[in-house]
Amino acid sequence: MPSGLTQEQIQRFTDQGYLMVPDVFADAEIQPLRNEITAVIDQAARRLQAEGKISCTWDEEPFETRLTRIFLECDEILSPIVGKAGGGHSGPAFFEFITNKSLLAKIESLVGPEIVGSSVYRIRPKMPSYAPGAVPWHQDSGYFSPHCDKDLIVTCWIPLVDTYPQNGCLQVLPRAHRQGVVRHYKNGPGGFLVIQDEDLPAPEPVTVPVPAGGVLFMTNLTPHSSSLHTEDVVRWAIDVRYQSSDVPSNFGELPSDFSADRPLQEIACYPPEADFVLQSPAHPEKVVDTWHTFHEIRQRFEEERPPGPRRGWVAVEGGRCRDRQS
C-alpha cells in the first residue's frame, strides 16, 4: 500500500505553501512516459523532415538533447507535444503517470479521499536559452476563477530529469500563500501572467532543486517562478493539479454546457479544460479509470473550449501597464 505524507510533511506544506518529496516515482515508472514522448517526437520529426523543414530526425540523440537539435531547425516540433496550451498530450503512459498510486496517496493526505484531477496540466520541455521558457513570478490562482481563491488546488511539479538552478528549477516564496491572491499583469515575459516586483510578497525566494522522480507540491496561492536555463539539455517536466470533489469542477460536462450565468459554485475553476475524477470511495462509478475515457474527455475540450476566467488583470507592455481589462 503506497504511503501518504507524514504529519510533519503535511504541516510543512500548510505552513510554507510548498513541499518537496524526492522519491515519489521510481525511474521505471518515469521511463514509459519518456518513451511515449519520444514516440511523439519521432512521428513529428519524420513529418517535418518529409516537408523539408529539418535536415534529419536526430534519432541517435538521447532524450535530454534530441528536442533541442530539432528545435534549432524548426520550432514546430513543440506543437505535437504541448498541444494548444500545454495540455494537449493525453497518451496512455501520461495517464498512468498522473494516476500513480504513490502520487495519489500523497495527494489524499492534502485534499482527502475524493480526488479530482484539475483540468490544467502541462508538459514543459524547457529549451536551453529560450526566453519563453523562463516563467515569471505568478500564482496559479492568478489563472483561475476568483470564486476558487479560497479552495485548495494542489500543483505537482514533476521533473523527468534532475533539475537544479543551472537548468531552471523552480523558485518559491515560502509562506506567501497566506496573503491570498496578489495583483497580476497580463503579457508578461513569454506571454505569461506576471507579478511585478513591487507587488511580490516579502519572503526571500527559495530555490528548490528536484531530482527526477521527485515532486514539488505547492498550493495554488504559492508564488513561484523559473529562470532561463543555460545548459545544452531539455529540462523536461510536467505539472499536474489535484483538488477535492468539494472544489467546483466541470466533470461530466461537455464544452457546450458552459454558461457564465450559472451559480458560481457550479462553474469550474478553469473552464477551458476538462476536469476528471480520479478517486472516489463515495462514488466509484464516476472514477475515470481507463486511458480511453481520459483521452476522450480531454479531446472534447481540445476541439471546443469554453472561455477562460476573467479576473480583470490589466496588460503590461515595456514595464508600463495599459488600461485594458481581460
Contact by Cβ (8 Å): 263, 196: no
pLDDT score recorded for residue 85: 52
Beta partners for residue 210, in sequence order: 163
- For residue 131, what pLDDT is reported? 60
The residue with cell 495599459 is 322
Residue 202, pLDDT score: 83
C-alpha cell at 119: 483540468
Supply the pLDDT for residue 321.
Answer: 43
Per-residue pLDDT of the chain (326 residues; tens, 9 = 90+): 789 999 999 999 999 999 999 999 999 999 999 999 999 999 999 999 999 999 999 999 999 899 999 999 998 998 888 765 555 678 899 999 999 999 999 999 999 999 999 888 888 888 886 766 678 999 999 999 999 999 999 999 999 999 998 888 999 999 999 999 999 999 888 889 999 999 998 889 999 999 999 999 999 999 999 987 778 889 999 999 999 999 999 999 999 999 999 999 899 999 999 999 999 999 999 999 999 999 998 888 888 889 989 899 999 876 554 433 33
- Confidence (pLDDT) at 326: 32
Between the alpha carbon of residue 292 and those of residues 101, 152, 203, 254, the distances in Å are 19, 28, 44, 17
Q: What pLDDT, on the 0 to 100 scale, is given for residue 70?
A: 94
pLDDT at 210: 97
Query: What pLDDT was estimated at residue 325?
Result: 33
274-310 in b/e burial notation, b at 16+ Cβ within 10 A?
bbbbbbbeeeeebbbeebeebbebbeebbeebbeebe
pTM attached to this predicted model: 0.93
pLDDT reported for residue 90: 82
Strand partners, 315: 186
Placement of cell 506543437 in the chain = 79
Please name the helix (run of DSSP H) or strand (run of DSSP E) that holds residue 218, with its range, or none: strand 215-218
Q: Which three cell numbers stand for residue 180?
A: 491570498
Give the model's pLDDT for residue 231.
82
The CA distance from 142 to 240, in Å, is 16
Predicted pLDDT at 84: 57
117 Cβ contact list (under 8 Å, min separation 6): 98, 240, 241, 242, 275, 276, 277, 278, 288
Q: Where do the domains of the chain lie, and which CATH numbers do they carry? A: 18-26+86-315 (2.60.120)
Place of cell 508564488: 223
